């Protein structure tokens, strides 16, 4: 039987707005998500036993049932026991390139790649929306990671409307090596601080009024690069920047050089900047690195 090697690209949030509470306890969100070239590689190999094994040499990535890639494989094994019996178990090897707990959806990207890969390996013939429906049970970012590209994500992040591809941009990413932020902490702290301003789940009018993602979606539709840069937004910065001074410093370092815009991605601590060319990206890298010594990635 064949083996598969898949790329699992990271995402950044060009826009992240918290609208209110949902009856299921999650937050109601409006996000614009963009996949980037930074990616893990996932190797899937059939094994003789009917088990699922995960290998990853990154110290922060659990090599067991807590791994989202494992949970994706286990989900398909439970949904399709005949395929597991016919094709046998799977070894998942994760070659980590995406920083962990960095607001780049590394775990979700791995789960998405495993769903897509096992669908091929076991010849399940699932459609993209069937894979996304399964993915949504694993994590809110998994459906987007299956589709990739540029999309408006609503609900808890699982309802997707594709947007035109963004071209002509370079993304510069930077992160302090030993800094990570828990997504759960970021959302819980946001709820503690701003929960009293949330729209109640049943008040659709309040929700419509709160939503401000329209101008960003319009700027993307018109490919207006400087407007996209100006409209970058992330509500979670309100809780992360006051606590994580390094993230604030990094954002300021990006903003002090000429970029279209800079923002923390997701729950952080990765900060990204949008620039118009590779030459501009290299210039930004050199200037930020001379101020702060830390890993920087350039894509696009």
User: What is the binding site for ligand ATP (CB under 6 A)?
Assistant: 60-62, 66-69, 94, 100-108, 110, 141, 183, 266-267
**What is the rounded distance in angstroms from the CA atom of residue 112 to the CA atom of residue 11?**
12
What residues pair up with 34 in beta bridges, in sequence order? 12, 150
Distance, CA of 145 to CA of 110 (rounded, Å) = 9
Give catalytic status of residue 159 as yes or no: no
71 or 225, CB closer to ligand ATP?
A: 71
Distance in Å, CB of 270 to ligand ATP, minimum: 8
Active site residue 175: no
We find the least distance from the C-beta atom of residue 255 to ligand ATP, in angstroms, to be 23
Give min distance, CB of 247 to ligand ATP, in A. Answer: 13
46-to-88, 113, 267 alpha-carbon distances in Å: 7, 15, 35
CB of 58 to ligand ATP, least distance (A): 7
Q: Which is nearer to ligand ATP, 9 or 107 (CB)?
A: 107
Cβ neighbours for 14, distance < 8 A, ≥ 6 positions apart: 32, 33, 34, 216, 220, 228, 232, 263
Closest-by-Cβ residue to ligand ATP is 107
**Distance (Å) of CA 48 to CA 6, 89, 91, 189:** 21, 7, 10, 46
Catalytic residue among 11, 119, 175, 235: 11
Residue linked to tokens 């970012």? 141
Catalytically annotated residue among 40, 119, 141, 235: 141
Query: How far is the C-alpha of 292 from the C-alpha of 271, rounded, in Å?
Result: 13
Report in angstroms how near the CB of residue 56 gets to ligand ATP at its nearest. Answer: 7
Nearer to ligand ATP, 60 or 129 (CB): 60
Rank residues 114 and 163 by Cβ distance to ligand ATP and give the closer one. 114
* Smallest distance from ligand ATP to CB 168, Å: 26
- Residue 186 or 219: the one with the smaller Cβ distance to ligand ATP is 186
From CA 93, how far away is CA 76, in angstroms rounded?
17
d(CA 180, CA 102): 6
Nearer to ligand ATP, 103 or 261 (CB): 103
- 195 three-state secondary structure: helix
For residue 46, what are the β-bridge partners? 90
The gap between the terminal CA atoms of the chain, to the nearest Å, is 35
Give the residue numbers marked as catalytic.
Answer: 11, 141
């Amino acid at each position: 039987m064949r083996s598969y090697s898949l790329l699992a690209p990271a995402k950044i949030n060009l826009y992240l707005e918290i609208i209110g509470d949902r009856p299921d306890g999650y937050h109601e969100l409006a996000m614009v998500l963009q996949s980037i070239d930074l990616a893990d590689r996932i190797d899937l190999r059939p094994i003789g036993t009917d088990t699922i094994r995960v290998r990853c040499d990154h110290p922060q990535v659990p090599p067991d049932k807590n791994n989202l890639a494992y949970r994706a494989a286990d989900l398909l094994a439970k949904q399709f026991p005949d395929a597991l019996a016919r094709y046998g178990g799977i070894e998942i090897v994760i070659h980590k390139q995406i920083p962990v707990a960095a607001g780049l959806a590394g775990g979700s990207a791995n789960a998405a790649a495993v769903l897509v890969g096992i669908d091929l390996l076991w010849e399940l013939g699932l459609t993209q929306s069937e894979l996304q429906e399964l993915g949504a049970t694993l994590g809110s970012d998994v459906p987007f990671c299956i589709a990739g590209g540029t999309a408006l994500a609503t609900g808890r992040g699982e309802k997707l409307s594709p947007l035109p591809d963004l071209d002509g941009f370079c993304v510069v990413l930077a992160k302090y090596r030993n800094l990570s932020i828990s997504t759960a902490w970021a959302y819980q702290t946001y709820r503690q601080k701003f929960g009293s301003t949330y729209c109640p789940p049943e008040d659709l009018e309040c929700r419509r009024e709160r939503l401000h993602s329209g101008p960003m979606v319009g700027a993307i539709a018109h490919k207006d690069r400087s407007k996209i840069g100006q409209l970058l937004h992330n509500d979670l910065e309100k809780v992360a920047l006051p606590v994580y001074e390094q993230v604030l410093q990094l954002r300021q370092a990006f903003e002090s050089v000429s970029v279209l815009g800079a923002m923390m991605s997701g729950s952080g601590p990765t900060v990204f900047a949008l620039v118009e060319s590779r030459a501009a990206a290299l210039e930004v890298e050199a200037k930020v690195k001379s101020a702060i010594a830390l890993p920087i990635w350039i894509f696009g």
